[in-house]
Structure 1
Amino acid sequence: MAKSLELQFTTQLGKTSTISIDSPIEPVDVTKVNEAMDQILQANIFLTSSGDYLSKKSANLVERNVKGYEVK
């Protein structure tokens, strides 16, 4: 099972932009996640087609099950 931590931000045009972090440390420390998201907002280094990040929207731990099949 693959897990990722998705950090979602609202952009200038009101859209959602997501940063995905593979294999996060568990349990997730919400305080550190909030601090990291605040630092991302302050640094303003990400360029999106819908403008700069304006605010934090959510943080989600996502678990995915993938079953591969052999194809010929």
Structure 2
Amino acid sequence: MEKSLELQFINQQGNVFRIVIDRPIEPVNAQHISSVMDTIIAANIFTSSGGDLVGKKGARLLQRNEEEIALP
């Protein structure tokens, strides 16, 4: 089961911009994630088609399950 961490930001146009981090260190720490997101916004190192990142929308830990299907 593969996991990824999705950081969700709001850009200048009010749209959601996502950054996905594969195989995050677990357990994830909400306070640390929030601090990192604040740093990303303050440093203005990412931009999107909707402009600079201006706020945090949220974060979520995603799990992906894969199952092989045997074909006849």
TM-score (norm. length: structure 1): 0.89
Deviation at 1:69, TM superposition (A): 5.6
Deviation at 1:35, TM superposition (A): 0.7
In structure 1, C-alpha distance between the alignment counterparts of 2:69 and 2:50, rounded to whole Å = 37
SS in 1 for 2:57: strand
Structure with the larger strand share:
2
Once the two structures are superposed, residues 5-64 of structure 1 have per-residue CA deviations (whole angstroms, 9 ceiling, x without a partner) of 000000111100000001111111111101100000000011210111010000100001
Q: Which residue of 2 aligns with 1:49?
A: 49
RMSD: 1.5
The count of residues paired between Structure 1 and Structure 2 equals 71
Which amino acid is the alignment partner of residue 52 of structure 1?
A: D
In structure 1, C-alpha distance between the alignment counterparts of 2:68 and 2:19, rounded to whole Å = 25
User: What aligned pairs does 1:2-13 form with structure 2 within 5 A after superposition?
Assistant: 2-13=2-13
In structure 1, C-alpha distance between the alignment counterparts of 2:14 and 2:52, rounded to whole Å = 10
Unaligned runs of 5+ in 1: none
The percentage of counterpart residues that share the same residue type is 49
Which amino acid is the alignment partner of residue 49 of structure 2?
A: S
